[in-house]
Chains A and B, each alone.
Chain A
């Protein structure tokens, strides 16, 4: 696992960096625009795949939201009402063309998808971004600490701990946290309950869901940070600093880290997807009112517009973070020229 990470992530900046060296800021803007376009295109393809996948599932929104007593004629009427008798591409085209106006379509139960996501999506973003910030801080700290004592016991302990943390699925972490921090000790509320404003009634309800996401992700990201720093360790200027007798933590922070940042940014950005994916499992366990619950109901209801709406929002969030990582990389590599 960590091998692939190093190969993929760490090798990339070296290659593209070499290509960017002679270019100037004008081309940077072009490159960002191209990156935005590429991400948007990927999202569109993804949404098409989502529509097609819902179509392939047995049953459709009309049968899935009908009651057991409905006759075949009732279901056919519903199908017509929901426009399911129209070709797939036509429905997809309608949905996509409404998208620029901020219209995410109507769910199989006749509600606006934007209304259905208005409360849950910000909640998931809050959960995801809190987890993201924490994992970035924790993995940078742990990765640098390990890199400043290469080969020493602490380096190995952090390495092993990171691998095992990543290997444990979110729901196992969640159940462990729930047992220890709530049911046995009573320190934290077991589940998230929301009030009249749609927000969790106390902020302590966020702690366990965030931790359940942070622990595995920090395992992943620490390995990325450590790997990127290890690659930098053999760079001439880092070796020189080391030979000059500078203290290890100075070498890591001042000399190795700046060069490793582009790789770290890209690596950590990829964990946005995993954070949002993990959120679905974690939200269910802690009854956190996010998009996980919406997505589960949408899949059960074969609700293509709603599923696409969730994918759209999550995809947009992930794309933004990936873009930010692209920018960091471009900037850092540009600065070196």
Chain B
């Protein structure tokens, strides 16, 4: 299997989500498993966790491009972000204890958690946070990580308040601060990065070649941490990681995938932790031009797909059927819109109305970046053939795909880690001016609806606007989202309270304990 930074960052990803705060919710609602032995957390023990990574892609920079899950995991245990993903609401406090927006939703004030200190004992100040966010913003990917926030618009107010001013109204700005806003001490030089103290639940004991040992930070402001230590072991492949788990060399195989889960199903001593809404592999149909520009053709393709069969075969059943709306993990996801199912008759009728050329063969471009992606294309092609649409699957090497097909092609597969909000996907991929508008979608009604959503402070009014936005997406967008893959971790029986949130939710291990 080929792991690219795209998989690592986005499959899990930059979008992922996470466990919640020990401080805020005590962790009961994220119980990895119906807690054994009365469920009272026990203190102590070392958790040995495997994570994917490659020696050539190692990075120690919290604001760099983390190509390795192992590195991201280690960074996330040492450094805190301002906010973290949760279930409901989907953004929860961390280093920022609370936040509020100005009435125009452009200026956001984040109040830092009381008593937060770095591992060397010095208190965390707003100046440290401002310095860290500016450093992040000035990386090559900074604009993508903190969209709409210029470096000069990141300021401090006193010792405990950080002010972010967005270029435009943005009701979901705290969501952007969830995953990469790792806070370091002001003026940490690049040379000191490897030993720089963080503020997180664990302190670095040692790091070598992608492997690390972390010990509990007893002074953590976020609550009680149960484990004495966490050992992170880097694995190049999910196969090697699952061998290590089955042989008892590690306790958790993080994000190991469906194949390993199938192997482990027969073992009573291994828990299979399924994190729903972890990843989507939608098919993109170009809306701007080409054979799929007609709305009716796109709907026909959405009616052609057999969603149950896709989930069963492509995801080995480790997933759920989806309804062509991106952001299924959002608490505001429109569950009320009826599930689209297979309807070949209606599809054929729509194709005829649209005068779709059934004599031609259409290319569906895919990659093997993540397991199941190319398989999803092949299965879809055979399902489409039943409706008389001839689709030929073209596999492209990852580099070529991103250069030639992504954002440009008529018909291709893509993938996104999700649980991020519906608005996140709207802003990234669906508004006309979105930098990653994969389908070339430009719809005035949708744009207006999106502006209304991000410009509305009132929760109820915002909810209504959000439902409208999702209806438009369901009716017209260029996405065919047939299903959502579960994230899958394997763990030995004694591991309790593993996070169950999708994506990078898996990295927040402060509530884990060993029975």
Contact = CB atoms under 8 A, between A and B. Distances in A.
Interface of A: 57-60, 63-71, 74, 77-78, 107, 109, 111, 116, 119-120, 178, 182-183, 186, 189-191, 193-198, 283-287, 289, 293-298, 300-303, 306
B403 A306 contact: no
Nearest to A62: B140
B65 A296 contact: no
Given A67-B14, A68-B9, A284 B59 contact: no
Interface string B219-248: 000000000000001011101110110110
Nearest to A59: B399
Given A107-B56, A196-B213, A69 B208 contact: no
B14 A69 contact: yes
Contacts of B4: 64, 300
Contacts of A302: 399
A106 B208 CA distance: 19
B55 interface: yes
Interface in B328-343: none
B209 A289 contact: yes
Interface string B1-21: 011111001100010000000
A93 to B, nearest CB: 24
Given A120-B209, A196-B208, A66 B65 contact: yes
A201 to B, nearest CB: 9
Contacts of B6: 67-68
A189 B249 contact: yes
Nearest to B231: A193
A297 B3 CA distance: 9
A303 B241 CA distance: 26
A169 to B, nearest CB: 16
Contact of B249 (A191, A294, A303): A191
B145 A69 contact: yes
Contacts of A301: 5, 56-57, 67
A69 to B, nearest CB: 3
B244 A298 contact: no
Select the residue from B67, B140, B241, B403 with max chain A CB neighbours within 10 A.
Answer: B140
B436 A183 contact: no
B244 A198 contact: no
Contacts of B233: 193
A114 B143 CA distance: 32
B240 A68 contact: no
A63 B403 contact: yes
Interface string B59-92: 1000011010000000000000000000000000
Contacts of B236: 283-284, 287, 293, 296
Interface string B139-162: 011011100000000000000000
A199 B340 CA distance: 54
B206 interface: yes
A297 B240 CA distance: 16
B56 A285 contact: no
9 contacts: A66-B141, A68-B10, A68-B14, A69-B14, A74-B144, A190-B246, A193-B249, A193-B250, A284-B236
Interface string B242-260: 0110110110000000000
